[in-house]
Amino acid sequence: MRPRKKALGRGLDAILQSPDTDITSHDISGNYVVGAIASMDVEIIETNPFQPRLDFDETSIEELSRSIKEQGIIQPITVRKLGFDKYQIISGERRFRAAKHADLKEVPAFIRVANDEQMLELALVENIHREDLNALEIAISYNRLIEECKLTQDQLSHRIGKNRTTISNYIRLLKLPAELQIALKGDQISMGHARAIINVTDDEAQLRILKTIIEKNLSVRQVEEIVRTQLNPVSNEKQKTQFPEKFLIGREKLIEHFNTKVGIKRSNKGSGSIQITFDSDNDFDRIIEIIASNK
């Protein structure tokens, strides 16, 4: 009996073994067999337009290239068929680039069939567990899956085996000003810094905090304290009492949960209101869906 295939979405192997991408019949429109490993001409292979990695380190490529010249490519790349003798990389682009740099004319490739949606998911799953993929690249990948594959965050969570809150935290990074995104991409700040800063609603205030982080090499804990102070200023004129800590923590949880700006008003007597911001009709529908799903 043929072994039962693993569920889609728990890793690259699971997706590659999906019935949707597993075709082992002969490829009658080209020179290779779909579902098998072949030594393939590099000239008929193109890179993956869905590649979530934005930058490839040239030094790393050069080192891998020297290794390939001596040892060859140990692990085949994976490609999908586009047409007659035309293929596109699903995974292994770094190996492919290094092979071309080493002037190899052919590379070992495992041939699959996948549509654009599967390509995007395959590229994402292969990359999100890599240590050298930065938080912004992961955020962009998650957002593309949601928008281009028309998935909710809950659906994406099930597809890739990640907690919905984790996905939400990454996607929120895309709402940061360009200067902060550049700093995050360039490792000037960490994701922890960015998660703290994003709770500040004023762009100029966010940039001031960024400048302070870089100049004083602040820890995430120090930035969180700065943000709490800005979110809950003390009025010297009226000597208002600060929000209790639980309200600040609760607000941060709501921001993470709904992936949007949240405001809290509270009187000295303890009454108040919560304001949840939405950017569009679709964003409103998304928030309502989250509320309804938690009943």
Return per-residue pLDDT of the chain as tens, 295 residues.
444 333 333 344 444 444 344 333 334 345 666 677 889 999 999 988 777 666 677 888 888 899 998 888 888 998 988 877 889 998 888 899 999 999 999 999 998 888 777 777 777 666 665 656 778 888 888 888 788 777 888 888 887 788 888 888 899 899 899 999 999 988 899 989 998 998 888 888 899 999 999 999 999 999 988 888 877 665 444 434 466 778 878 888 888 788 788 888 887 777 888 888 888 888 888 888 888 877 5
Residue with tokens 């995007």: 120
| The overall pTM is greater than 0.85 | no
Residue spans of beta strands (DSSP E) within 47-193: 77-83, 86-91, 106-112
Residue with tokens 């930065």: 134
Q: Which of 204, 208, 136 is nearest to 174 (CA)?
A: 136
Q: Which CA distances in Å does 93 have to 75, 89, 143, 264?
A: 12, 7, 21, 47
What is the bridge-based pairing of β-strands 106-112 and 37-41? antiparallel
Query: Do the strands 86-91 and 262-266 form a parallel or antiparallel pair, or are they unpaired?
Result: unpaired
Give me 292's structure tokens. 């309804």
pLDDT for 25: 38
To 5 degrees, how large is the angle CA 124–CA 64–CA 53? 20
Give yes or no: 93 in active site.
Answer: yes
CATH number of 12-128: 3.90.1530.30
Residue owning tokens 């905090």: 209
Tokens 């009187």, located at residue: 267
Phi-psi region of 233 (alpha: psi -120 to 50; beta: other; left: phi over 0): beta
CA gap 199, 224 in Å, rounded: 9
Q: Which amino acid is at 165?
A: T
Q: Which of 46, 63, 70, 93 is catalytic?
A: 93
Neighbours of 61 (CB within 10 A): 16
Tokens of 242: 């600060």
